[in-house]
Each structure stands twice: as structure tokens, then as C-alpha cells.
Amino acid sequence: MEPVTTLPTESHTEFDAQPSVRGSWRTYGQPVSVALVSGGLVLILRETGILVGAAAVAVAVICFVLAPGTRQFSDRFMLAAALCIGWLPLIGWLPRIESRIDLPGVLLAIAVGIVAARQLRQGRRGPRTVQLPSAAEWIALGLGALTSLWWARPFRGMTTSGILGTLQNIGYDNVTHFGMFRSNLRLGSFVQAQPTLPGGVSRLGYDYPQGIHQAWAQLTRLVQPHVSVASASLLHTYLTVLLVTAGGAVALGCMAVCRLCKEDVLVAIPAMAVVLALFAVGTFTPFDGFANFELAIVAVATAVTLMVRPTLSPGWNFFAVAGMGLVAAYNWYPVVALMAPALVVASLRAWRSSHGRARVAMTVVICGTALAYLRPVTTFSHRGLSWLNQPTSSLATPWGLLILVVAALITLACVRQVSDPDLWTNVVIGGAAVMGGGAVVFFAAYEVHSTGSVPYYGQKLASAVLAICAVVLVAVAAHHLVRSRARKRLPTLLAVALSGLLAFAALQFDGYVGPSVLSPFPSNNAGGIALRKLVFQQPRRSIDAARVLLAAQRTGGRPGRWFYLEPNPPSGIRSILLAQWFLVLHGDPANEDSFAPTLDGTYSASQLAHAVRATYPHPEENGFHLFVPAWLRRAIAEQDAAWGRPGRLFVIPTPTSI
């Protein structure tokens, strides 16, 4: 029998093996075209003033929901936070870029283009949005929103002068942060990118890390591309970004807990209560000038928890961990030490998971990230260690609690290594306590040797280590409790009762929280609650602040070096605060001008006039202009004809309304 030969039913050529032109267009051409058109439409709508304000925020949220990537809500939240407050502020190293173009608008256009192309290309295949938040994740978002609203309530009904007066009275550092925020808006970059004024002197904030200020500037320009830096409107914007930061810090810390135990809301709630105790009602409040500090603490704690139960690919995990570390490096550098093990392990895992050209690209990214971490050090390294000896301190760390928390976290890492061996993850967990405890011992020893006590920065570092270790401790402990046999056997009603009881107990972590009549030790009340009561007691209007605002408005950006001098203000506020707020409201002050003497004390008018002439000599040659009380203006003009000429001395204005 002859073999049967099966003939092909149709012939195939080399040309037939290639994708058709129509197929290539559908695969690549259509998505690219849609991305370009949608991105261009965003830019047009931004330029015409339509896609601004709430509309711009809404589009950004839609991009968050529809963007490609991980579907788990807490993972996507971590990536978005790392991008917005860690990576994007690095744009601040580019001089004047944001003052020339609508940079947030360009980024929004890119995001919309990517989302539109992805939705078109994916069609009906597979999931197209992020998963709905779990119950625990909804609670985390709600706690963040409630924190912002809770702090906003005392400011309701305040005039602009009342807001300024409150910021003056409750946080000395607010003036510096406001000045750097204003500079980042005006310059479109970090002050370090343009550190000197036209005269060659250093700008205010020339050596201060400004990650949060650049993030605030980008957020502000997203909402309002051509934002006004007029003093009155910008104060309201500054208040808003402080409130957003307070709520965002709480949401980020709570989301770190949710990522580890989101399937069990009853276990997550007590751990989130510790975050709330620290960053909503406790030591780290939004209006005492520590907004950058608290954000750095939360970011470091989050970076460490990201190495526990990895739910992201090694590359994206590195992106998130490194982004959180950048938040610390560009806001409060010393706490970077606590997440250094996490950064090293995340870098190695990302590098080892890549191959070929991808490994080369990952090597470049890791090296570039290292340079981004080192760059801020060069701006303040000239201070040496002498800055640690600043004597004043508004913080008092509970040293016993600090030792207990650090020891507990080290113990937890050791127990994990015995029961669930994972050496590098446990090194990251225990490393936060070891590195933090070691840093506190080193700095405290240096300060005690230099000054005989542990002053401001030593107390501040100790408070940061306590907060970071506490958040990591409760998050990791909650993660293990979720998987434990005891939790699975616990009846629902008993679990609910225990969760509520533990949550109330956790709220007491950083001071008493509860009805004042039940407070056993009023002096041990949570610091945030006490500060909020102080805000409620502030006047809705402030005559001192209104005078400063009006004086700054009247200068109108006029050239020269302008100063505000009111010795011994009748309201009792420190005159240096009035002088410094005037400087930052007027324009971009020189760093040295912010430390000009304000001549408080018991002196006669002639003595003060003589002191003014000595402090501000040769007004015409140096371009000096002064706002002073009327009685001091007369005394100075009588002693010095140069100061008596028009355009040199101005009487502090009396506003008709405040």
C-alpha cells in the first residue's frame, strides 16, 4: 500500500507570517493615537482654565483607579504615595522648570494618555480597574479624612489675620516652612537649585531639605496652574496643604497596617489606633512646624513594613521602598538610617530579579537613586555636628517607653527568625530598632558630653525612633495575629469586644485620649488634643497679624531690603516672629535678614533709634527700608537725616478691617 500523503489545504508564505498592517495599527497605532489625543486634550483644557481645581483632582483620582498595575488597593496607594511625595519632588533640582511650564498639567496629561491607551488596548479582557478597598482600607482612608477635618474645625470662621496669628502663636517653625513653600512656588524648584539672590546673598532655606515644600507646590499647581503668591490667598493655601498632610500621614500609616492584615479588620483596628494616637492626636501635630518631620517618620515605618509579606514585584517594591526613603531624605534625613536595611535588601532583590538589558537598566536606576539620596547631604553638611547642641526643646521623649518598644521590636524579629525563618526580612525589621536605638545613643551621648543634657534634636530623634518602631511593631504583630490559631478560634462577639478594648487602649499610647473628666493625670493628656484646644482659644482676628499683612501688601514687591520692626509688641507676641513673617510675605528674603535683631527690651525711644541706626547703617547705600511705630520713626528721623528722607521709614499701618 502506498503511503498516504496529506497535502496542505492552503499555502503559507513568509509574508503571511508577519502581522498585518491592520493588526499592527490596532495593536499599537490606535492606543498611541488615543494617548496623544487624550493627553493633548488635557493640556488644552488646562490652558483654557477648565481642567483645574476639583476637576483636576477628580481626573487624577480616575487615573489612580484605572491605571495599569497592581489591583490591590493598598499596594496601589503605596505606589502613588511613593511617586507623589518621594519621586516627583526630585523635579525640584531642575531650575525654573515649573515656572516656565505647567508641569503638573503635563504629568496629568501623561497619566490620562497612559490610562486611555491601556483601556483601549485591553478591551474587555481582564480587570480594568483597581479592586474596591477592603473594610480595613476604607477605615484607613476615613481616618485620614477625619484627621484633616478634625484639625480644620478650629479654623472655621477665622479671617486671614486670624489664621496668621494662630500660625504665629502655635508653631515657631511655621514661618520658615511657609517661606520655603512660597519660594518653591515662585522658583519652580528647590531653593538649593537657585540658592542665591541677585545680590549674591543666600536665600532663606538655602540649606534646608524641601521635599514636602516641593510636593506642596506641585499639588497647589495641579489645582491652580497659575497660583497667586499674594500673601492673603497663599496663607489659606498653606493651611490647606498642612491639613492634607496631616490626613495623608495618618492614611499612609494606617494603609501600611491594612496591607499586612486587610483581610481581618478587627485585628487591623487596634494597630491603626496607634497610628492615630501618634499622628492625629499625639506628639506629631500639623501646626507646630513638624509636618515634614511627621511625614518622614510615617514614610520610614511604611518602607520597613513593605518588606514584610511582599505583594509587589521586586522592581515595584524597590520603587515603593526607595520612594518612601526619599520622603525621609528630603524632609528629615537622620531617620533614613532606620530604613537603610530595607533599602539595601529591596535594591538587591530588584537587581537579582532582572536579567540582560533589564539588569543594566536596574543598575542605572539604583545608582541614580543613591545619588538622589546623597545630594541633600551636601546642602547641610557644612553645619557639622554643632547644630545638635541647640538648647531649646519642645519635645520630651518617654525614655522608658522608647527602650521598651525598641527591645520589643528586636525580640519580635528574633522570634520570627526562629518560628518563620526569613533572614533578610527579619534583619530589616530588627534593623529599624538596632539602627534607631544606636543613633539615639550616639547623638544623646554627644549632646550630653557637649551640653550636659539631651536638648532639642536629641529629643526629636528619640521621638522619631519611638514612633517608627511602634508603628512597625504593631503592624508586624497584627500581621502574625491574623494568621494565628488563637485568632481563628476566637468567637466573633468576643473578637469585636477585644478589638474595641484594644483600640481604646492603643489610643492612649502617646498621651491620654478621652473625656477630660476621666483624665487621671491632666498633664499627661495627648499633645495634639491640648494644641487643638489652644487653636480654639485663638482670636478669630489678630490686629498684629493684620498689620504685618498690610505692610507686606504695601511693599508690592518694591526693590530694596525691607524690614518690620516693632519692639515689645503690646499683644506680647515675640517681635522676631512679626519681623520674619513680614519678610516671607513680602518676598524672597535673604537668610541673614531673617536673623536681624528686633531690639526687644526696656529702652527709651532715643536708645532704640540709636540701636536701629547701628543695626541698619547707611540706608540709601544698603537699600534699607523700615516699617516702625510712629514714635520710633520720629526718633530715628531726628537722629539721622539719611533715614529721615522720603521712602526710607514707614509707619506700621493700621488696618481698617482685619
Q: How far apart are the first and last CA of the chain?
A: 111
How do residues 586-601 score in pLDDT, each as one tens digit? 888 888 888 887 777 7
- Asked whether 313 and 353 are in contact (CB, 8 A), the reply is yes
> Which residues make Cβ contacts (< 8 Å) with residue 61, sequence separation at least 6?
none
Among candidate residues 587, 657, 547, 534, the one with its CA nearest the CA of residue 159: 657
How do residues 240-285 score in pLDDT, each as one tens digit? 999 999 999 999 999 999 999 878 999 999 999 999 999 999 988 8
Q: Are strands 561-564 and 649-651 parallel, antiparallel or unpaired?
A: unpaired
Is the pLDDT at 11 greater than 70, yes or no?
no
- Asked whether 598 and 627 are in contact (CB, 8 A), the reply is no
CA distance 335 to 299: 10
Span 151-158, average pLDDT: 94
Strand ranges across the sheet with 649-651: 561-564, 624-628, 649-651
421 CB neighbour count, 10 Å cutoff = 9
Q: What percent of the chain has pLDDT over 70?
A: 91
pLDDT for 384 equals 64
Among candidate residues 318, 324, 316, 109, the one with its CA nearest the CA of residue 211: 324
Is residue 436 classed as helix, strand or coil in its secondary structure?
helix
Burial class (CB in 10 A: 0-12, 13-18, 19+), 24: exposed
How do residues 521-560 score in pLDDT, each as one tens digit? 666 788 899 899 999 999 999 999 999 999 999 887 788 8
Is residue 1 very low, low, confident or very high in pLDDT (cuts 50, 70, 90)?
very low
Burial letters 60-84, b for 16+ CB under 10 A, else e: beebbebbeebebbbbbbbbbbbeb
- Asked whether 304 and 335 are in contact (CB, 8 A), the reply is no
Predicted TM-score (pTM) above 0.85: yes
How do residues 107-146 score in pLDDT, each as one tens digit? 999 999 999 988 877 765 556 678 889 999 999 999 999 9
179 CB neighbour count, 10 Å cutoff = 25
CA distance 411 to 90: 37
Q: What are phi and psi of 376, to 5 degrees?
A: -65, -25
CA distance 85 to 218: 10
CA distance 576 to 176: 12
Task: Name residue, grid cell 547623638.
Answer: 443
pLDDT for 67 equals 87
CA distance 306 to 432: 13
191 CB neighbour count, 10 Å cutoff = 26
CA distance 377 to 323: 17
CA distance 104 to 224: 10
- Asked whether 209 and 379 are in contact (CB, 8 A), the reply is yes
Span 407-426, average pLDDT: 92
Q: What percent of the chain has pLDDT over 90?
A: 59
pLDDT for 593 equals 86
Task: Name residue, grid cell 484633616.
Answer: 148
Of residues 25 and 605, the one with the higher pLDDT is 605
Tell me how far apart the 2 most distant CA atoms of the chain are, in Å.
Answer: 131
Cα dihedral 460/463/464/469 (nearest 10): 160
Q: Any bridge partners for residue 202, and if so which?
A: 196
Among candidate residues 119, 120, 121, 129, the one with its CA nearest the CA of residue 61: 129
How do residues 606-656 score in pLDDT, each as one tens digit? 989 999 999 899 999 888 999 999 999 999 999 998 998 988 999 999 887
Is residue 514 very low, low, confident or very high in pLDDT (cuts 50, 70, 90)?
confident
Is the pLDDT at 155 greater than 90, yes or no?
yes
Is the pLDDT at 19 greater than 80, yes or no?
no
Is residue 650 classed as helix, strand or coil in its secondary structure?
strand
Cα dihedral 261/266/268/274 (nearest 10): -160
What grid cell was written down for 257?
497596617
> How far, CA to CA in Å, does 71 sit from each of 64, 128, 134, 260?
11, 9, 12, 15
